[in-house]
Amino acid sequence: MRMIALTGSIGMGKSTVAAMFARAGVPVFDADATVRRLQSDGGPLVARIEERFPGTTRDGAVDRDALAAAVLGKPDELAALEALVHPAVHHERTRFIVSHGDAPALLFDIPLLFETHGEHAFDTIIVVSAPHDIQRARVMARTGMSAEKFEALLARQMPDSEKRARADFVIDTSGDLSTTEAQVRDIMACLGITPES
């Protein structure tokens, strides 16, 4: 089974590219979505987050705006949150691998792949990238985003140029979606993965 990691900095297009692989039949593990699920109503991280960051949960779920306010811009607090979250994500990832034991390839969308030194578990690393101005414009267009939040998340992330230098493949997402999709198809062909559609 080929283990493919997809990474890239905030707003570079990971989710969009992961969806293209999923449409082509490659099962996708989404680390951010897994975090959201583990932090949602009834999720296993809620009580532990409330204990460490009092007042950041409401009605049995993590209030992500409150949690973001408690950790962003405070490196020690963010590290404490990550120490709770990352082992739980890793556990879910193992379950995902077991449940797709017969797939020829799996794709893992992992924003902090390099930052958490997780790259060694993968055969192939794809980095999504775009010029900084495009990245910034995409992120700032999101609701609930502020310049401070963008900078605080970016500060925790390895510079894009370093990520690109470590990639087996770089997908440039500065063009239109069909140009991005063509790059996805080229990489699949290069890896010998037959698309389902």
Ligand X SMILES: CC(C)(COP(=O)(O)OP(=O)(O)OC[C@H]1O[C@@H](n2cnc3c(N)ncnc32)[C@H](O)[C@@H]1O)[C@@H](O)C(=O)NCCC(=O)NCCS
Ligand Y SMILES: Nc1ncnc2c1ncn2[C@@H]1O[C@H](COP(=O)(O)OP(=O)(O)OP(=O)(O)O)[C@@H](O)[C@H]1O
Question: Is residue 13 within the footprint of ligand X (CB under 6 A)?
Answer: no
Q: With contacts defined by CB under 6 A, how many residues of the chain interact with ligand Y?
A: 17
Q: What DSSP string runs through 96-152? A: HHHHTTT-SEEEEE-TTTTTTT-GGG-SEEEEEE--HHHHHHHHHTSTT--HHHHHH
16 is in an annotated binding site: yes
Amino acid at 127: V
Q: Are 24 and 16 in contact (CB under 8 A)?
A: no
Give the residue, chosen from 2, 48, 52, 64, that forms a contact with ligand X under the rule CB under 6 A.
64
Question: Is residue 32 within the footprint of ligand X (CB under 6 A)?
Answer: yes
Contact pattern for ligand Y over residues 24 through 63, marking x by CB under 6 A: --------x-------------------------------
Point out which span in 30-38, 96-104, 163-171, 178-186 binds ligand X (CB under 6 A): 30-38
Nearest residue to 165 (alpha-carbon basis) of 4, 2, 3, 7: 7
Task: Return the SS3 of 168.
Answer: coil
Q: Are strands 57-58 and 2-7 parallel, antiparallel or unpaired?
A: unpaired
Chain residues 97-156 in contact with ligand Y, contact rule CB under 6 A: 111, 138
Point out which span in 82-90, 96-104, 127-135, 173-181 binds ligand X (CB under 6 A): 82-90
Q: Which is nearer to ligand Y, 124 or 174 (CB)?
A: 174
11 is in an annotated binding site: yes
Give the residue, chosen from 13, 31, 46, 108, that forms a contact with ligand Y under the rule CB under 6 A.
13
The CA distance from 111 to 107, in Å, is: 13
13 is in an annotated binding site: yes
Q: Phi/psi at 112 (nearest 5 deg)?
A: -100, 40
Site residues (vs ligand X, CB under 6 A): 10, 31-32, 35, 64, 67-68, 71, 78, 81-82, 85, 89, 111-112, 153, 156-157
